[in-house]
Structure 1
Amino acid sequence: MCSQEGEGYSLLKEYANGFMVSQVLFAACELGVFELLAEALEPLDSAAVSSHLGSSPQGTELLLNTCVSLKLLQADVRGGKAVYANTELASTYLVRGSPRSQRDMLLYAGRTAYVCWRHLAEAVRSEDERLQFMQGLQDVWRLEGATVLAAFDLSPFPLICDLGGGSGALAKACVSLYPGCRAIVFDIPGVVQIAKRHFSASEDERISFHEGDFFKDALPEADLYILARVLHDWTDAKCSHLLQRVYRACRTGGGILVIESLLDTDGRGPLTTLLYSLNMLVQTEGRERTPAEYRALLGPAGFRDVRCRRTGGTYDAVLARK
């Protein structure tokens, strides 16, 4: 990818994620995060903030860490815990009573203007939501698929199964990058039917599509299983259940490739990953995780030699072996 294209793609992602940044700001104002920290006698940890606000511990910690990444809050570690305080920006513009406070304007923007803007495209919407989602993922993997699949050498795995593989975009990238391999796309019937009607991967003789629910139905036997943007949808318990099923189906000597956006070790970055984690909080029961948290899921499922590799892009790779 040339640098100009890379810069353009980065700018496009910045625009696309802009609504998430706005919602972090609006939610923190709505909940009273900045007032609470302004009135506190000392910086507070996430548990104290959660207790004062009556909010969920996990969601509060995610929100606070995202505010740190946005330079709305600052974090220090005391006694092994992160504690949070307002930055000068927040103290000046986001606290009620400040001479330069913009809090009321932001609350209006979040409660009224934002709700109106979400209907902007209704008049021209024509694509089925599931098809549009699959097309969106295909767009992502068209630019980032080859990079994340090249994070590790996958040539030792002749048969690769992409669980929840949707349109087959990653499977197609696999067989292009590793010509000696074949790929299986495993997804629910409705998704497979759409893929066969609308996406070119279904026409590639090296790729086959299988219908099923990966939580309940028998998984195809394979040398490598790819879970791309799958585990972040689910709780730890459901992830563990799925990983155990994958381990049992995997051929001896095979492995699993987890493709997700990895949080930093301290959970306070990168900003894009924090925004995605908040998105999971809003839309699913899952979250983004740190490398250590993925190791903690893969190890008990039976996988060994867990290696995490950052790609420099949006998505990173975690490879483990059976």
Structure 2
Amino acid sequence: MSSSEDHCYRLLTDYANGFMVSQVLFAACELGVFDLLAEAPGPLAVAAVAAGVGASSHAMERLLDACVSLKLLEVEMRGGQAFYGNTEMSRVYLSRVSPTSQCSMLLYMARTTYHCWGHLAQAKGKNQYLRTFGVPAEERFTAIYRGERVQFISVLTAFDLSLFPLVCDLGGGAGALAKQCLCLYPGCHITVFDLPEVVRTAEEHLSLPEEEQIGFQEGDFFKDRLPEADLYILARILHDWADGKCSQLLERVYQSCKPGGGILVIESLLDEDRRGPLLTQLYSLNMLVQTEGQERTPSHYHELLSSAGFRDFQFKKTGVIYDAILARK
């Protein structure tokens, strides 16, 4: 086998075995490995980790060593015995005690998204979002809304939003984005507008923001009157829907928007040739297996927004997961 063939074969093997890497991460989160190590006074031996999470030492040793290879854990040897501890990534993003923990989101991906992707070959773009495999409401909202806390800074600072004192976050759930927006722009007032069942579930299972400048209003943004605002934020909303539904929603936003006001769209943008970035392409496939929508290019969003009446279209690729689009009325 030539060096070129060898490289191709190794690359193919990496792709084919990628789901195993995800499952190592998911399993360690579900078992509470990172939480146990975060609470421990120091690195722990295999037996201590296994006992702490209720697993066998035989199986746990393999899982821990795989986590070390993935740089999720670090290991030190003492007298021929291995002791394991969290890496910085695990301390920051995988331990539940961390304010930036993504553990809930990863468990949601393990129990819902992963199973949906098992049917990718049969996917037809039918909206089954949040109704798949009976994931409990508390788990869904904890995953989605707490997972958002570290994602919004770059998009909320892509443009100067201090020009818009009255903000409406459409489909804003438990207010993760609203709270971040208020931290960055303390002079604004924000209304979070979402379905009654979403607001009720969030009230039951999460601590909603207590700031006087953040309010919650129940409603369906396809049917009910939208709150008055200088700026409407649609964060990861349009990618759930086909173009027709997007146009319907954008037209309603335009009619409600004050003259000179704007709309901020937060989505992961495809390159114009649609051949990247890879993560956005994967997200677009995720829309195929869970919703009726897709990820789009800047020009695609420009067409949708201008057709609804918006002008002064601007977009910024942030270099992280989500990008920002701003248009004005």
Which TM bucket (shorter chain)? Answer: 0.5 to 0.7
Please identify, of 241-250 and 200-209, the stretch whose mean Cα deviation from structure 2 is larger.
200-209
Q: Distance in 1 between matches of 2:300 and 2:194?
A: 25
Aligned ranges 1:86-235 → 2 under 5 Å: 129-235=136-242
In structure 1, C-alpha distance between the alignment counterparts of 2:218 and 2:272, rounded to whole Å: 37
Aligned residue number for residue 259 of structure 1: 266
Deviation (angstroms), 1:6? 11
Q: Secondary structure at the match of 2:152?
A: helix
| CA-CA distance at 1:303 after TM superposition | 0.3
CA RMSD of aligned residues (A): 3.3
Which segments of 5 or more consecutive residues in structure 1 lack a partner in the other structure? Answer: 32-54, 60-117, 123-127
Gaps of 5+ in 2: 1-87, 95-101, 127-131
Match of 2:325 in 1: 318
Cα deviation 1:217-258 (Å, max 9, x = unaligned):
000000000000100011101100000000000011110000
What SS does structure 2 have at the residue aligned with 1:162? strand
AA paired with 2:147?
V
Paired residue type of 1:194: T
The residue type equivalent to 1:261 in the other structure is: S
Which residue of 254, 279, 283 corresponds with 1:272? 279
The letter for the 2-side match of 1:252 is P
**Residue 148 of structure 1: CA displacement?**
1.3
Deviations 1:249-277 (A, max 9, x none): 00111100000011111111111111111
The alpha-carbon deviation at position 204 of structure 1 amounts to 1.4
Q: How many residues align?
A: 227
Q: Deviations 1:153-172 (Å, cap 9, x if unpaired)?
A: 10000011000000100000
What SS does the corresponding residue of 2:264 show, helix, strand or coil? strand
Alpha-carbon separation, structure 1, partners of 2:90 and 2:261: 33
TM, length-normalised to structure 2: 0.61
Q: Is the 8 A contact 1:202 1:209 kept in 2?
A: no
- Structure 2 counterpart of 1:105: none
Q: Distance in 1 between matches of 2:208 and 2:162?
A: 20
Change (3 A) 1:260 1:178: same
SS of corresponding position for 1:155: helix
- Please tell me the residue identity of whatever aligns with 2:229: A
Q: 1:23 to 1:193 in 2, by over 3 A?
A: closer
1:108 maps to which residue?
none
Normalising by structure 1, what TM-score? 0.62
Given residue 151 of structure 1, which amino acid in structure 2 is its aligned partner?
A: A
Cα deviation, residue 306, structure 1: 0.8
The whole-number CA distance in structure 1 between the counterparts of 2:136 and 2:237 is 18
- Amino acid in structure 2 at the alignment position of 1:266: D
SS in 2 for 1:299: helix
